[in-house]
Structure 1
Amino acid sequence: MATVPSAIRNPCPPGACVCGRDALENDPFADCRILMLTRDEERRLVERIERASDYADLQKVCARMQAQLGVVLRIAPGPNEVRTVLGFDIAFDPHPGLCRKTQQTIPAAVRRCLSDKPTIAFEILDADSLFAPGD
C-alpha cells in the first residue's frame, strides 16, 4: 500500500468524482502527495494565487504546487485570439487523485488573478512571444 500522508483530503462522495483516489491509495508506488491538499489547504492556495503580484510570483506558486503536491498547472494563451482571460488555457496535467472540484477551483482562481491584475496576463502573453517584434 502507498504511504498515505497523515492529514489527507476527505474522499469525494461515491460517483461524484472521477479522481481515481481508490486506485491511488491501493498502488504501492503511487505519488500520494496530492491527498495532502485538504479543503482548508485548497482555500489557502486559492487565496495565495489570487494575491500573486506578478507573473514570476504566479510561476513560484505553480512550482511549489508541483514540488509539494506533484501536480502541474499549465497557464498559456489559448489557440485562438486572446481577448479576455477566458482566452487562456489554464488546466492541470492529468494526475490521479486530483479532485474534479480542485481541477475547477484552482484555474478559476488563476482567472480571477488575471482579471484583477491584467499586467500578469500581458506578461504571460509576452512570455509566449505574442508581443515579440517582427510577428
Structure 2
Amino acid sequence: MHTVDFEIRKQCPPQLCDCARAELMQDAKANLAILRLNLTEEKRLLAHIETIATHEQLKKLETNLQKNLGVVLRIAPGNGEVRTVRGFQIQLQEQPGLCRKTRAAIPAAVRRCLAAHPEIAFAILNENDLLGGI
C-alpha cells in the first residue's frame, strides 16, 4: 500500500470507469504519478491545451505529459485522407490510473486546439511526410 504526499484523484465508480485505480494503489512498485492528475489539475491541463498556439508548444506538452505523469499522447494523421481535424488519430496510451473520462477529454482538447490553429495541424502533417520529401 502506498502513502502519498500530494492530492490524488478520487476513485471513479467501478461500474463507470476502467482506470484500475484501486489495483494501482495496491501495487507497491507502481508509479503513482498519474494520480496527480486530479480533477482540478485536469481542468488546468485542458485549459492549457486549448491555449497552445504552436507546434513546438504541442510537442513540449507531449514530452511533459510523459515525463511528469507517465502518459503517452500520440497525435498522427489517420489512415485515410485528412480533410479536417477529425482525420487525426489522437489518443492517450491506456495505463492503470488513467480515467476513461480523461482519455476522452485530452484528445478532445487537442482537437479543439488543432481546429483553432490549423498551422499546427499542417506542421503535424508535414512531420508525417505530407509533402513526400519535397
TM range (shorter): over 0.9
d(CA) in 2 for partners of 1:55, 1:93? 21
d(CA) in 2 for partners of 1:57, 1:48? 10
Identify the residue that residue 103 of structure 2 maps to in structure 1: 103
- Equivalent AA in structure 1 for residue 50 of structure 2: E
Identify the residue that residue 15 of structure 2 maps to in structure 1: 15
- The answer for unaligned runs of 5 or more in structure 2 is none
Q: Match of 2:91, SS?
A: strand
d(CA) in 2 for partners of 1:5, 1:94? 25
d(CA) in 1 for partners of 2:15, 2:98? 15
Identify the residue that residue 33 of structure 1 maps to in structure 2: 33
Give the TM-score normalised by the residue count of structure 2: 0.95
The answer on whether the counterparts of 1:5 and 1:36 sit within 8 Å (CA) in structure 2 is no
Q: How do 1:55-70 and structure 2 match up within 5 A?
A: 55-70=55-70
The answer on whether the counterparts of 1:80 and 1:87 sit within 8 Å (CA) in structure 2 is yes
Identify the residue that residue 76 of structure 2 maps to in structure 1: 76
Give the TM-score normalised by the residue count of structure 1: 0.94
Q: Match of 2:42, SS?
A: helix
Taking only the aligned residue pairs, the percentage that are identical comes to 50
- The answer for unaligned runs of 5 or more in structure 1 is none
Q: Match of 2:67, SS?
A: helix
Identify the residue that residue 118 of structure 1 maps to in structure 2: 118
d(CA) in 1 for partners of 2:29, 2:133? 48
Q: Tell me how far 1:4 sits from its aligned partner.
A: 3.5
d(CA) in 2 for partners of 1:10, 1:94? 18
Identify the residue that residue 51 of structure 2 maps to in structure 1: 51
Q: Tell me how far 1:6 sits from its aligned partner.
A: 2.4
Aligned length: 134
